[in-house]
Amino acid sequence: MKTKKVKDENMDLNPYEVDKLARVPSWIKILLLKYWAAAAACFLLFGASELGLNVYSDSVDGTVKLIMLLGLFFTILMNYPIRVIIRLMYNRRNNTYRYNMINMKGLKTFPLALVYNFVIAVIAFIIIVDVLSPNGLVFDPFGTTGGIGIEPFTVGFIYLFVDGIFVLIKNLIYRVWQIHVYKKQINTNIKIEPQLGE
């Protein structure tokens, strides 16, 4: 009597095989995540206006509200889901901290992230209102804004650009500090060596 062999579904799986998502470089994943979060923050502005908050008026008060809300939404989305994902991606071979401005743990990160993202919101607002909108350069894939105004795709690109400049400056300062500490240690060891030989 012949017995049927039952094929185990897990027989074809190799637990040591690297998945396809792991082959994508970390910097691409982080860029996409930050772009998504910045565009989502802009969508939250639209939601705030639907709830009755007048953030799109031409008055100074409306402008301040818009910048404050944009900075707050940037902070919430960048500080909680994105920063946590970047921390989870970190290991000795993959230093993902260099792609993020604030990498600390705990409650102290929120005020720092709020200040940082508020600065980015101010810069993004100035770029959109004073540079892109007057020239009709706001990205408008669906033809809804007419090349002017605040639009999520444009806000995402501007966030990546400004954040990238700040992160690059931070990494350069950190690199210069590392070189300074290294040279100081070498000079200290050179001065100590003759004394040990005596």
pLDDT in tens, 118-170: 999 999 999 988 888 888 888 877 776 677 778 888 999 999 999 999 999 99
156, part of any domain: yes
Contacts of 29 (CB under 8 A, 6+ apart): 89
Contacts of 124 (CB under 8 A, 6+ apart): 70, 155, 158, 159, 162
158, part of any domain: yes
Q: What is the mean pLDDT of residues 157-184?
A: 95
Highest average pLDDT, of 20-24, 65-69, 89-93, 116-120, comes from 116-120
Q: If you count them, how many residues does the chain have?
A: 198
3-state secondary structure of 178: helix
Q: How far apart are CA 186 and CA 156, in angstroms?
A: 44
* In the predicted structure, residue 181 carries a pLDDT above the cut 60: yes
196, part of any domain: no
76, part of any domain: yes
pLDDT-based confidence at 16, cuts 50/70/90? Answer: low
* In the predicted structure, residue 171 carries a pLDDT above the cut 80: yes
Which domain covers residue 133, as residue numbers?
Answer: 24-188
159, part of any domain: yes
Q: What is the mean pLDDT of the chain?
A: 83
Residue in 40, 32, 122, 129 with CA at minimum distance from that of residue 137: 129
82, part of any domain: yes
> What's the structural domain count of the chain?
1
pTM attached to this predicted model: 0.81
Q: What is the mean pLDDT of residues 2-7?
A: 53
Cβ contacts of 148-152, under 8 Å, gap ≥ 24: 150/42, 150/45, 150/66, 150/125, 151/42, 152/39, 152/40, 152/42, 152/43
* In the predicted structure, residue 198 carries a pLDDT above the cut 50: no
